[in-house]
């Protein structure tokens, strides 16, 4: 009952605060649209699996700034699935059979162009035979935004919920209402759960709007289940909410809350899979919530994976949320021990 | 079996030496914030149905004292009993109405929504909340402003709404931290009349203030300075004892005495 009262109060506050409401609903749409239009191509390092090709083929690939690595047919497929290579090529009787991972369209295009060029340069090839290209993931004209889009949805939900929930919990402390609340028989965990539910209900709406806009208006590639995308964004909102509350206890005012953005939020962008990182540094991403969120979203939206594939990611996100909720309840002891 | 366990628990919470005519008993209470000694050996007893004032300059420890009585803070040492039970206790918090020094209000919500929220938190029924919202709003003269968001309220209106929120759930104990700051004299008089009425019904009230004339309205006053209770009694007693003509004079006298000792 008290949890419900707290959750309803938060919804009521949001309802009265038009500006925050707009920030949570309109700003994400605005940002996503902007990124959709401005995202330019880049030139990353490209690796290709060479299964069967004339000697010297790799050297020709190297001239095209693409690294060719010898693989057996089964190894090549595995490497492709793991994302170690972007494409694999098999030249039989002068005709090339290419499998390509289209989930990163920039890389895929560069790899395909290089493979064609290297084939023309090779003596044994028959330029009259057209290459057969198969897309393992994604499709031929997948724009760069699609690759980014999935991770971006996660990031944007995370960012706005983190900020708004953090600041509203901070205001609860600074305005004295937390103290007033703690003079009532409310339990500490009820406050935390009330917040999670209140913002939770609101973020259902927000997640739905953002996911819907990306999938049906911007037409981001989406071959998985829309329900799963919603589930992931909801869990994203939950982790952002609980982390925001946790961080707000370390801030004394709104400005200090904003200072957490470069410390907590921005680093997560670097490690959430949008950028190609050296193996050593990539490991750091494993402690960052957004890494799992972006991974789950990419799996569902571009690879069409089901619940069983992303269960591990979701489990980690959920575990993080529960950990943060417990910490929040414990930290409230600072204000009232019982 | 359950009965005996219950009784035993109750027994341990109610030592036989506590005076059952007292609603609030503060015994040898000390409070430290880090190394700062904020409350020093406070002993204070408040009988049922009386208004007791805690008078002292800002920073003397009044707010800390009332927060400990309200169960928000805990004493470093010493004991607090409210309604015969040892504080802090979650189930007792329903029986205490606390009004903080700063207006603890949700400014984006309307006055009514604020009252409803705390009513629900106190576990009141819908009908009760409706009835008490009207009654308390009437009392603090906010009936016409119930549907306005608190952010358009003046300082005095916010203070009155805070008071309404503290008495919303009909608690037998009221802890009011500077309740009448910024309230105009006429309404202040009304509020004091109401507090007297509540006390006559058996409600025990603690009021902190740094205004002398307000302290005069209390049944008994405790003077506080630098974390110590320096004198207790009715306003008359405190003045007569030292031949002072005003409470202010008495305060200066007792304060000076503390400095000498």
Contact A244, A162 (CB under 8 A): yes
> Looking at domain A46-137, does it have CATH number 3.40.190?
yes
Distance between CA atoms of residues A66 and A83, nearest Å: 15
Q: To the nearest whole angstrom, how far is the Cα of A160 from the nearest Cα of chain B?
A: 20
- Answer whether residue B2 is part of any domain: no
- Answer whether residue B74 is part of any domain: yes
- Answer whether residue B200 is part of any domain: yes
Mutation choice for B interface testing from A15, A178, A179 by most B CBs within 10 A: A179
Mutation choice for B interface testing from A184, A194, A332 by most B CBs within 10 A: A184
Burial A38-70 (b: 16+ CB within 10 A, else e): ebeeeeeebbbbbbbbeeebbebbeebebebbe
CB-nearest partner of B100 from A12, A180, A185: A180
How is chain A split into domains, by residue range?
2-39+143-334, 46-137
Model confidence pLDDT, tens digit, residues A18-66: 888 888 888 888 888 887 777 644 445 788 888 887 777 778 777 777 8
In this prediction, the answer to ipTM > 0.90 reads no
pLDDT of residue B155: 84
Length of chain A: 338
Tokens at A109, concatenated: 């295009």
Tokens at B84, concatenated: 């015969």
- Answer whether residue B4 is part of any domain: no
CATH of the domain at B137: 3.40.50.300
Model confidence pLDDT, tens digit, residues A310-334: 999 999 999 999 999 999 999 888 8
Residue A305 or residue A281, greater confidence: A305
pLDDT of residue A68: 81
Model confidence pLDDT, tens digit, residues A77-122: 888 888 788 888 888 877 778 888 877 777 787 788 777 777 776 6
Q: To the nearest whole angstrom, how far is the Cα of A331 from the nearest Cα of chain B?
A: 15
Name chain A contacts of B149, Cβ cutoff 8 Å: 16
Q: To the nearest whole angstrom, how far is the Cα of A338 from the nearest Cα of chain B?
A: 7
- Answer whether residue B11 is part of any domain: no
Name chain A contacts of B103, Cβ cutoff 8 Å: 176
Beta carbon pairs, A and B, within 8 Å: 80
Q: What is the residue range of B126's domain?
A: 16-260
Q: To the nearest whole angstrom, how far is the Cα of B235 from the nearest Cα of chain A?
A: 30
Which residue ranges of chain B lie beneath pLDDT 50?
Answer: 1-12
- Answer whether residue B5 is part of any domain: no
Q: How many domains does chain B have?
A: 1
Is the pLDDT confidence value at A284 over 60? yes
Model confidence pLDDT, tens digit, residues A198-252: 988 888 888 888 888 888 888 777 888 888 988 998 899 899 999 999 999 888 8
Is the pLDDT confidence value at A125 over 60? no
Model confidence pLDDT, tens digit, residues A168-183: 899 888 888 998 998 8
Q: Which helix (H) or strand (E) holds B68?
A: helix B62-70
Mutation choice for A interface testing from B121, B129, B178 by most A CBs within 10 A: B121
Name B96's bridge partners. Answer: B173
| Interface touch A180/B107, C-beta < 8 Å | no
pLDDT of residue A42: 47
| CB proximity list for B153: less than 8 A, separation 6 or greater | B111, B145, B161
Q: What is the pTM of this model?
A: 0.75
High-pLDDT (> 90) share of chain A, %:
14
- Answer whether residue B101 is part of any domain: yes
């Amino acid at each position: 009952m008290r949890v419900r009262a707290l959750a309803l109060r938060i919804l009521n506050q949001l309802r009265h605060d038009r500006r925050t409401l707009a920030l949570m609903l309109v700003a994400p749409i605005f940002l996503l649209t902007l990124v959709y239009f401005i995202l330019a191509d880049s030139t990353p390092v490209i690796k290709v699996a060479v299964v069967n090709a004339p000697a010297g083929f790799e050297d020709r690939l190297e001239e095209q700034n693409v690294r060719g690595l010898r693989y057996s047919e089964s190894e090549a497929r595995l490497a492709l699935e793991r994302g170690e290579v972007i494409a694999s090529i098999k030249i039989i009787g002068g005709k090339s059979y290419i499998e390509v991972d289209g989930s990163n369209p920039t890389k895929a295009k560069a790899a395909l162009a290089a493979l064609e060029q290297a084939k023309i340069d090779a003596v044994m090839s028959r330029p009259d035979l057209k290459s057969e290209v198969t897309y393992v993931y994604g499709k031929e004209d997948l724009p760069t935004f699609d690759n980014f889009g999935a991770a971006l949805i996660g990031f944007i939900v995370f960012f706005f919920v983190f900020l708004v929930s953090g600041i509203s919990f901070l205001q609860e402390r600074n305005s004295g209402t937390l103290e007033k609340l703690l003079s009532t028989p409310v339990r500490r965990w009820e406050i935390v759960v009330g917040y999670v539910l209140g913002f939770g209900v609101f973020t259902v709406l927000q997640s739905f709007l953002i996911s819907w806009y990306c999938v049906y208006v911007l037409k981001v590639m989406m071959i998985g289940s829309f329900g799963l995308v919603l589930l992931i964004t909801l869990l994203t909102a939950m982790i952002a909410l609980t982390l925001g509350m946790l961080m707000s206890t370390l801030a004394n005012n709104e400005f200090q809350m904003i200072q957490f953005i470069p410390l907590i939020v921005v680093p997560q962008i670097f490690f959430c899979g949008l950028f190609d990182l050296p193996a050593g540094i990539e490991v750091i991403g494993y402690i960052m919530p957004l890494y799992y969120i972006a991974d789950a979203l990419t799996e569902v939206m571009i690879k069409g994976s089901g619940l069983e594939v992303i269960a591990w990611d979701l489990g980690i996100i959920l575990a993080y949320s529960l950990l943060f909720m417990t910490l929040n309840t414990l930290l409230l002891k600072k204000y009232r021990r019982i | 079996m359950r009965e005996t366990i219950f009784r035993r628990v109750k027994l341990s919470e109610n030592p036989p030496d506590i005076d059952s005519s007292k609603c609030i008993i503060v015994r040898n209470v000390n409070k430290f914030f880090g190394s700062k000694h904020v409350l020093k050996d406070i002993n204070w007893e408040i009988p049922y149905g009386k208004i007791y004032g805690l008078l002292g300059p800002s920073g003397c420890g009044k707010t800390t004292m009332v927060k400990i009585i309200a169960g928000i803070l805990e004493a470093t040492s010493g004991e607090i009993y409210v309604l015969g039970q040892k504080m802090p206790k979650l189930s007792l918090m329903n029986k205490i109405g606390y009004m903080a020094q700063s207006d603890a209000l949700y400014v984006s919500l309307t006055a009514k929504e604020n009252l409803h929220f705390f009513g629900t938190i106190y576990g009141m029924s819908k009908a009760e909340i409706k009835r008490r919202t009207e009654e308390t709003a009437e009392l603090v003269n906010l009936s016409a402003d119930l549907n306005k968001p608190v952010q358009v309220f003046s300082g005095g209106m916010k203070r009155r709404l805070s008071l309404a929120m503290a008495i919303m759930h009909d608690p037998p104990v009221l802890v009011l931290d500077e309740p009448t700051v910024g309230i105009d004299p006429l309404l202040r008089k009304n509020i004091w009349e109401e507090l007297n009425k509540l006390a006559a019904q058996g409600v025990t009230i603690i009021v902190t203030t740094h205004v002398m004339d307000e302290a005069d309205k209390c049944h008994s006053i405790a003077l506080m300075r630098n974390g110590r209770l320096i004198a207790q009694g009715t306003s008359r007693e405190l003045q007569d004892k030292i031949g002072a003509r005003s409470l202010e004079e008495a305060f200066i006298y007792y304060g000076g005495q503390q400095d000498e000792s």
